[in-house]
Structure 1
Amino acid sequence: MNKKTRCLSLSLLCLASIQAHATTYISAKAMVDVTNGQLINAPLISIDDGKITAIEQQKAPTLKQGDEHIKLPELTLVPGLMDMHVHLTSDPTVPRSERIGQSAPRKAVKAAYFAEKTLHAGFTTLRNVGAEGYTVIAVRDGINAGDIVGPRIWAAGPSLGVTGGHCDNNRLPPEMKYSAEGVADGPWAVRAKVRENIKYGANAIKFCATGGVFSKGTKVGVQQYSQQEMNAIVEEAHLRGLTVAAHAHGTSGIKAAIVAGADSVEHVSFLDDEAIKLAKKHGTWFSMDIYNTEYTLSFGEQNGVDEENLAKERQVSKKQRDSFTRAVKAGIPMVFGTDAAIYPHGDNAKQFSRMVEFGMTPLQALQTATINSAKLLKVDQQLGQINPGFLADIIAVKGNPLENIAVLENVNFVMKNGNVYKK
């Protein structure tokens, strides 16, 4: 190797070394510590390789070549938000009759679009609880590979449900002999369906324990899967280390899902004292979507929602909000779940104000979308806080969410894994 070539090689090596060890610094007006509700003034956060390495106060960084200093002097830093109940393939502004005819590839494109929109709204982690055609699993993998932009996603495959139940498609004529992909009846059949979901990439499982608002011919309060079937679903998923979400409006379905060991129960509309005791005994998380009622009742008819479904929403909405207040007072652990797709994606943070209205403090509401959701997903040593050793999922807003939770509806800055997506 001649002298010129050797010098060039050394220069490239030095440049690579500088780039590999470049540090990103973020300074801001304040930062929320979600574990204790403290507001830390003038933080300086150091980030290397997508992880937070240090947090200091009232200090300016010493920059070396390749370092970056992001200055947010008017903003408050908050951990990236987490929504544990979304449906990225579904668009509430499109009539339901039109959605039936959409192909899996078309739904995957929709999901990619809504994933990026939700990320820009400050949600750096999502759990997508059910989608046909393994579409959201493909979107998740595309995000992880860097092909497209979006949040970190835990994706269930097709939701498990009984024949003719909430997770089946009951809108087509019998001569078509159509069943939704997740339909399975009996303990061994549901085990096989869980295994199939995992085979094709699911890293979460969802099943329907009761009827639902937006299905045809189901009653929201009626249990669908038996106790034996729910036990089999949860046991099979837990054998493989996956968390399980149980859709349950009705009281008996809520209790059966808790007894089966579901990690979270979704909706939880008709709650009684026994269900509260069971949830506390088993450490079950509740995910209660108390924001979307007004949108459904205001815009549902023009978006093709049947009167049957609107009537069920009227039946459920007040009961669910009363149950939410009871659960908060009882100290049931809660995560943030909105059922995004019932209302437009990207409006997820509008639920925070409803949570405060119906019984939570702003800190409690914020914790549902940070440390609590991270605990549900068993990643609470990586996500949900701004702390050294955690992944650099950080958003910034103007104002103090501990005083006015509604400031989370307008996010000015979004970072995920140390990469800036909105600034």
Structure 2
Amino acid sequence: MSTGATVLRAARWIDIDAGQVRSPAVIVVRDGLIEAVNPPEIPADATTVDLGDRTVLPGLMDMEINLLIGGPENPSGLPNPMHGVQDDPVYRTLRGTVNARATLMAGFTTVRNLGLMVKTGGYLLDVDLGRGIENGWFPGPRVVSAGHAITPTGGHLDPTMFQKLAPHIMPMSVQEGMADGVPAVRAATRYQIKYGAGVIKISASGGVMSHSTAPGTQQYSDEELAAIVDEAHRAGIKVAAHAHGDAGIRACIRAGVDCIEHGSLAGDDTVQMMVDHGTFLVPTSYLSEGLDTSKAPPALRRKAEQVFPKARRMLAKAIEAGVKIACGTDAPAVPHGQNAKELWALVDRGMTPMQALRAATVTSAELIDAEDRGRLAPGLLADIIAVPGDPARDITALETVDFVMKDGVVHKNSTAEPGR
């Protein structure tokens, strides 16, 4: 049923396609879509929302997040290391609703929930979380869910490796992503797709915050990687790979993996390989500053000290080389609701503010094949945020989001609050 239009007025808006800040902003929204931008006439049935001296821009996107961990009870970063054996699926999903709201209120209207790393009995909690949001049961971003991350025994995303559990304490199933050998990885991939995964997440190298192999170690064989990609691509699903190490990244690119998460230790030739193959990179670079490792075991702190400086240098080279870079935080390693700090990191490593904005909008939209968002243009989804100042000049303006609209529904409007 058609409803009246809403007109958003503000001092400025960001034209992502042109890479320009334009004035003024007059955005007409109707039935969840953008109807017009700066039209010659305003619809007679319109209700006006005056956002004042603010910049309007498309809703931002976080391509590496885990809404089911972190947040309540531990807002400062990494979750309780015992959450994997203390939290049942119901409690974990309820936590996800709180984290989803915090993410939306921070101006992030689309996310990829990139891989459950917990025991669930085979339930894809992130898929159900996304369904609840889509049904309007509670506020949150649009969620592209991975289901369970697919990992080899002892791999970085093996849930028992975060707590360094003894044998048999938390046995994992193929349905929960624990898969060794080609037949098992095919079965694990098919299971996630069957129950609603919109992307497949795999563990292709060691990690930093797990008691797994060294970060650079390739964990899945070439044959296993190829089998996972084959299963996903035949179903029209993309594959994202956790990969810090150079050899693992190269193996993923050869196998046809669509997106590398982190990419910390990629060499110059591997960076160019990403460019040549059109492989996306989600660098999660703010981890270098934002990840609180103070309570991590000494061995993990040492890994972080070794990897993070190299990761910053790699990203600078990737930016210069022209790798397709999308925005992702790895929250809750960066606390939920502080997602915009990743854009600061992209700028710090060499992007212009406008390039960072593109990474969190049109490039992220391209990564998930979403042509209906990422820009302010007629016919696209009315996912719109507003911030004080001009983020094209000062990217940290995105850390203060005063207004959030998703699907044409206003979820946050603090523009009229005293002192704002």
Q: TM-score, length-normalised on structure 2?
A: 0.91
Equivalence for 1:248: 243
Equivalence for 1:24: 6
- Which amino acid counterpart does residue 313 of structure 1 have in structure 2? A
Q: Is the 8 A contact 1:44 1:60 kept in 2?
A: no
Q: Is the 8 A contact 1:186 1:229 kept in 2?
A: yes
Gaps of 5+ in 1: 1-18
Equivalence for 2:388: 398
Q: Is the 8 A contact 2:85 2:170 kept in 1?
A: no
Q: Which moved more, 1:364-373 or 1:228-237?
A: 228-237
Q: Is the 8 A contact 1:83 1:126 kept in 2?
A: yes
- Superimposed CA distance per residue, residues 317-339 of structure 1 (whole angstroms, 9 cap, x where no aligned partner): 00000000010111111000110
CA distance in 1, matches of 2:170, 2:390: 54
What is the RMSD computed on CA atoms of the aligned residues? 1.5
- Which amino acid counterpart does residue 419 of structure 1 have in structure 2? V
CA shift for structure 1 position 146: 1.1
1:166 is aligned, of 146, 152, 156, to 156
- Superimposed CA distance per residue, residues 166-202 of structure 1 (whole angstroms, 9 cap, x where no aligned partner): 1112322114362362111112211111110011211
CA shift for structure 1 position 63: 2.9
CA shift for structure 1 position 309: 1.6
- Which amino acid counterpart does residue 103 of structure 1 have in structure 2? D
Q: Is the 8 A contact 2:390 2:397 kept in 1?
A: yes
1:237 is aligned, of 217, 232, 244, to 232
CA distance in 2, matches of 1:122, 1:54: 21
- Which amino acid counterpart does residue 4 of structure 2 have in structure 1? A
Q: Following superposition of structure 1 onto structure 2, how do residues 17-416 of structure 1 map, counting pairs within 5 Å?
A: 20-56=2-38, 61-64=42-45, 67-91=46-70, 92=77, 94-131=79-116, 132=118, 133=120, 134-168=124-158, 169-170=160-161, 171-176=164-169, 178-179=171-172, 181-296=176-291, 299-302=292-295, 305-379=296-370, 381-416=371-406
Q: Is the 8 A contact 1:25 1:47 kept in 2?
A: yes
CA distance in 1, matches of 2:43, 2:406: 24
- Which amino acid counterpart does residue 25 of structure 1 have in structure 2? V
Task: Please give the secondary structure, in 1, of the residue aligned with 2:11.
Answer: strand
CA distance in 1, matches of 2:152, 2:187: 14
CA distance in 1, matches of 2:289, 2:36: 43
- Superimposed CA distance per residue, residues 234-289 of structure 1 (whole angstroms, 9 cap, x where no aligned partner): 11111111121100000000011111111110000111122122211210000001
Flag the 1:157–1:61 CA change in 2: closer, same or farther, 3 A. same
- Which amino acid counterpart does residue 181 of structure 2 have in structure 1? G
The percentage of aligned residue pairs carrying the same residue is 40
CA shift for structure 1 position 62: 4.3
Task: Please give the secondary structure, in 2, of the residue aligned with 1:247.
Answer: strand
- Superimposed CA distance per residue, residues 335-386 of structure 1 (whole angstroms, 9 cap, x where no aligned partner): 001101112100010121121111111111110000000001111x201000
CA distance in 2, matches of 1:249, 1:93: 19
CA distance in 2, matches of 1:23, 1:346: 30
CA shift for structure 1 position 22: 1.3
Q: Is the 8 A contact 1:163 1:179 kept in 2?
A: no
Flag the 1:371–1:187 CA change in 2: closer, same or farther, 3 A. same
- Superimposed CA distance per residue, residues 105-142 of structure 1 (whole angstroms, 9 cap, x where no aligned partner): 11111111100100000000000101143111111010
Q: Is the 8 A contact 2:101 2:139 kept in 1?
A: yes
Task: Please give the secondary structure, in 1, of the residue aligned with 2:109.
Answer: strand
CA distance in 2, matches of 1:375, 1:341: 24
Q: Is the 8 A contact 2:8 2:49 kept in 1?
A: yes
Q: Which moved more, 1:171-180 or 1:263-272?
A: 171-180
Q: Is the 8 A contact 2:14 2:56 kept in 1?
A: yes
Equivalence for 2:418: none
Q: Is the 8 A contact 1:50 1:419 kept in 2?
A: yes
Q: Is the 8 A contact 1:392 1:415 kept in 2?
A: yes
Q: Which moved more, 1:276-285 or 1:242-251?
A: 276-285
Equivalence for 2:416: none
CA distance in 2, matches of 1:73, 1:254: 46
Task: Please give the secondary structure, in 2, of the residue aligned with 1:411.
Answer: coil
Task: Please give the secondary structure, in 1, of the residue aligned with 2:9.
Answer: strand
Task: Please give the secondary structure, in 2, of the residue aligned with 1:73.
Answer: coil
CA shift for structure 1 position 93: 5.6
Task: Please give the secondary structure, in 1, of the residue aligned with 2:179.
Answer: coil
- Superimposed CA distance per residue, residues 188-231 of structure 1 (whole angstroms, 9 cap, x where no aligned partner): 21111111001121111100100111111321000010111111
Task: Please give the secondary structure, in 1, of the residue aligned with 2:214.
Answer: coil
Count of residue pairs the alignment pairs up:
397
Q: Is the 8 A contact 2:114 2:146 kept in 1?
A: yes
CA shift for structure 1 position 98: 4.3
Task: Please give the secondary structure, in 1, of the residue aligned with 2:82.
Answer: helix
CA distance in 1, matches of 2:335, 2:267: 31
- Which amino acid counterpart does residue 179 of structure 2 have in structure 1? A
CA distance in 2, matches of 1:45, 1:177: 52
